[in-house]
């Protein structure tokens, strides 16, 4: 396989990973995470129970939960897409090993991606078997975002033309790394909001339940691990704990705005980076708007799913900027 073909396969993997992330958000936000109580199949099927007979049998598997065919379909579509992605990442790793003597061919990165995909599969199984335990669901989300970021990086590193940053661009490392760190923390906070069903704990904006600082319980809200055997679908936290999680995400958004505002000023003033700065500014503006609309419109499905997808695009943009402003390996400083 040529370098160009490998790069195109990597681009396809990036796109598919984005689709898997969006599908995962769709599954979670439509309460389909336990649409199939087993893994990797669904009620013992490779697809899902569809006939009256198979549905009747499936109903006996979980006597406390009636079969929801729609939820099962959504869950399995997500699993199929993730499975195809796993096969593509496996192919990328094998091809990278075969091409390991080719100049400019990354090897460690595809192998790391393969290990990450295997771990993601385990997290996907534990998400079901541990009944949507928030820490596991959050780790699964974080793994998806990391997979997307590393695939974007692999795509950038396998392009024929590599960046040759000028000196002002190379001086942006501190600002870019700080912005990336703040973004990662905010994505994790957003995931914690979602996995604990705290998105509507504050139903108004900019205040929360008519107050600037309502009653909160951060200790309960940020207890990361709870007992095994608890069904977390719908959430188990009281209002004060959910408000604490929601308020932490809002405070994190202010941090993102501050740090990214500083970064964008630097980007717009740096020769050659006006276009990517404009893209980043647009993505950030849309993301903040989606976050506000999720509250004032009571979490509409389309906007809530788009909010997750936009987080991935912001992350990918930061990976691009970090790659764009760093010297390629082997280039003299």
Q: Residue by residue, what is the 3-state secondary structure of 109-151?
A: HHHHHHHHHHHHHHHHHHHHHCCCCHHHHHHHHHHHHHHHHHH
Q: Which of 75, 102, 215, 240 is catalytic?
A: 75
Residue 75 annotated as catalytic: yes
DSSP code per residue over 73-84: HHHHHHHHHHHH
Q: Which H helix or E strand runs over 195?
A: helix 173-195
The dihedrals phi and psi of 203, each to the nearest 5 degrees, come to -85, 5
| 69, burial (CB in 10 Å: exposed 0-12, middle 13-18, buried 19+) | middle
| Nearest residue to 25 (alpha-carbon basis) of 149, 154, 187, 253 | 187
The dihedrals phi and psi of 42, each to the nearest 5 degrees, come to -135, 105
Residues 42 and 76 sit within 8 Å (Cβ to Cβ): yes
Residues 92 and 11 sit within 8 Å (Cβ to Cβ): no
The dihedrals phi and psi of 21, each to the nearest 5 degrees, come to -60, -45
Active site residues: 75
């Amino acid at each position: 396989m040529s370098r160009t073909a490998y790069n195109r396969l990597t681009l396809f993997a990036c796109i598919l990973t984005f689709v898997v992330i969006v599908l995962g958000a769709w599954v979670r936000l439509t309460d389909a995470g336990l649409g199939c109580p087993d893994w990797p199949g669904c009620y013992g099927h490779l697809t899902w129970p569809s006939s009256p007979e198979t549905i009747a049998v499936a109903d006996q598997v979980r006597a406390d939960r009636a079969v929801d065919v729609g939820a099962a379909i959504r869950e399995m579509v997500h699993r199929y897409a993730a499975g195809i992605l796993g096969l593509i990442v496996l192919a990328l790793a094998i091809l990278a090993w075969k091409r390991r003597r080719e100049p400019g061919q990354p090897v460690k990165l595809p192998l790391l991606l393969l290990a990450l995909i295997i771990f993601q599969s385990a997290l996907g199984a534990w998400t079901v078997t541990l009944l949507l335990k928030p820490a596991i669901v959050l780790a699964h989300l974080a793994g998806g975002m990391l997979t997307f970021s590393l695939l974007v990086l692999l795509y950038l590193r396998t392009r024929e033309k590599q960046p040759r940053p000028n000196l002002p661009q190379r001086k942006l490392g501190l600002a870019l790394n700080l912005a990336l760190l703040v973004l990662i923390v905010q994505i994790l906070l957003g995931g914690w909001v979602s996995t604990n069903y705290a998105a509507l704990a504050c139903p108004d904006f900019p205040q929360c339940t008519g107050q600037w600082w309502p009653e909160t319980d951060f200790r309960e809200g940020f207890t990361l691990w709870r007992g095994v055997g608890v069904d977390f679908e719908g959430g188990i936290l009281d209002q004060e704990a959910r408000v604490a999680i929601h308020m932490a995400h809002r405070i994190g958004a202010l941090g993102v705005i501050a740090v990214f505002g500083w970064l964008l000023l630097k980007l717009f003033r740096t020769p050659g980076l006006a276009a990517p700065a404009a893209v980043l500014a647009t993505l950030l503006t849309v993301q903040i708007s989606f976050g506000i609309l999720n509250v004032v419109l009571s979490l509409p499905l389309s906007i809530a799913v788009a909010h997750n997808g936009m987080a991935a695009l912001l992350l990918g943009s930061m990976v691009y900027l970090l790659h764009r402003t760093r010297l390629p390996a082997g280039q003299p400083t």
